[in-house]
Amino acid sequence: MTNTVSQADIVRAVAQLRAGELVAFPTETVYGLGADASSVDAVRKIYAAKGRPADHPLIVHVADAVQLANWARDIPPYAHALAKKFWPGPLTLVLKRSANVPDAVTGGQDTVAIRVPSHPVAQALLREFGGGVAAPSANRFGHVSATTAAHVREEFGDTVACVLDGGAADVGIESTIIDCSRDGPALLRPGWITPQQLEKALGTPLAAPDKHAPRVSGALEKHYAPQTPVMLMEGDLVVELAHSLTRQGKRVAVLARTALRPVIEGLVWIAAPADAAGYAHNLYANLRELDHAGCDAILVEQPPEQAGWLAIRDRLVRSAAGSGETLG
Ligand code: TXA
Ligand code: MG
């Protein structure tokens, strides 16, 4: 199925899911930390491993849209239309939950988030398992998401016995989340599938979430964050601040959009790909690499304002949230 995962690996991973154990697996967005979504005990292990608050709901991953009816009820026609157009793929639908969905999965809310991933290893795992796999991104709570099997190991060490290695995740940032549980579709989390693509498929505008919309964790708080303080700014400010912090004896790492680096002693500089797809694909790996450089700050050059960069800007703003005061 891939160079690294065989059908025997899938069969072993499914046995572990059935035994109530955690299985980390690749998706096209980021790696997930999976458990049998119908088992409260198994799902609790996810929260324990991640250090995630119990009221933050999980996405249920299924092999195809036919399984929607096992998890959700009162599914509006526009949700079926989105599923038909974008699944398998990086889109998550929030729907009214059916009675059998454990509270442990939904954080006690009356909705459930569902997604059909396209990665061949995720597909093979879900087809062999047959049921739903609850999976958040495979990182410790608040940390940078994992886009390779090695990143998953970095986050969890041996506490997760089974990590399926499907190579580097293609998209690199988490799925777009659309609320389909109320009157009309609303964007809850931007992702690689853009509002423009969704509106084209729907034929109607997407609403922004209002105060009654289902909660999405990480909506404001620090999230997707390295240990090193992250600061987001325009390119000329990056250079200015890199100079002045270095003069103060601090070590600086930069996620830039150009290879034209200033000559500064000890500066760590990554030039990110110029296109949004390449930038997203490398984003979390770049943040991890800069975090490991042992610097006092990571300065990130603002990405472009264009629509295709919405989800990237969202992740960068959150990874920088709360870092302002830390640097002093
Ligand atoms: O791309 C992805 O979506 C990845 C891969 C592994 O599928 N998963 C992922 O999961 O990003 P996680 O747990 O890191 O983020 C899921 C988001 C959270 O912000 C959570 O609050 C929201 O989905 N969510 C889950 N269930 C929800 C619900 N019923 N209502 C509103 N938001 C929900
Ligand atoms: Mg996450």
pLDDT digits (tens, 9 = 90+) for 166-216: 999 999 999 999 999 998 999 999 999 999 999 999 999 998 766 666 666
Least trusted range by pLDDT, from 156-160, 216-220, 307-311, 315-319: 216-220
Alpha-carbon 144 to chain mean position? 9
**3-class SS of residue 14:** helix
At 214 the pLDDT is 65
Omega before 76 cis (within 30°)? no
Q: In what order do the strands lie in the sheet with 252-256?
A: 230-233, 297-301, 252-256, 268-271
pLDDT value at 220 more than 80: no
Helix or strand run (H / E) with residue 193:
none
Among the listed residues 126, 108, 112, the one whose alpha carbon sits nearest the alpha carbon of residue 61: 126
pLDDT digits (tens, 9 = 90+) for 71-122: 999 999 999 999 999 999 999 999 999 999 999 999 999 999 999 999 999 9
With helix as H, strand as E and coil as C, how does 72-123 read? EECCCHHHHHHHHHHCCCCEEEEEEECCCCCHHHHCCCCEEEEECCCCHHHH
The fraction of the chain above a pLDDT of 90, given in percent, is 88
- The pTM for the full model equals 0.95
Handedness of CA 162, 168, 170, 175 (dihedral sign): positive
Task: Determine if ligand 1 sits within 6 Å of the CB of residue 135.
Answer: yes
Task: Determine if ligand 1 sits within 6 Å of the CB of residue 94.
Answer: yes
Task: Determine if ligand 1 sits within 6 Å of the CB of residue 136.
Answer: yes
Query: Rounded mean pLDDT of the chain?
Result: 94
Q: What is the mean pLDDT of residues 264-283?
A: 97
Helix or strand run (H / E) with residue 33:
strand 32-36
pLDDT grade for 53, boundaries at 50, 70 and 90? confident
At 327 the pLDDT is 53
At 163 the pLDDT is 98
At 328 the pLDDT is 46
Closest ligand relative to 189 C-alpha:
1
At 3 the pLDDT is 67
At 207 the pLDDT is 85
Q: Name the residue type at position 167.
A: G
pLDDT value at 306 more than 80: yes
Q: Which mutation among 92, 106, 115 tests ligand 1's pocket best, with the greatest number of atoms within 8 A of CB?
A: 92
Q: Which atom of ligand 1 is nearest to the CA of 138?
A: 6
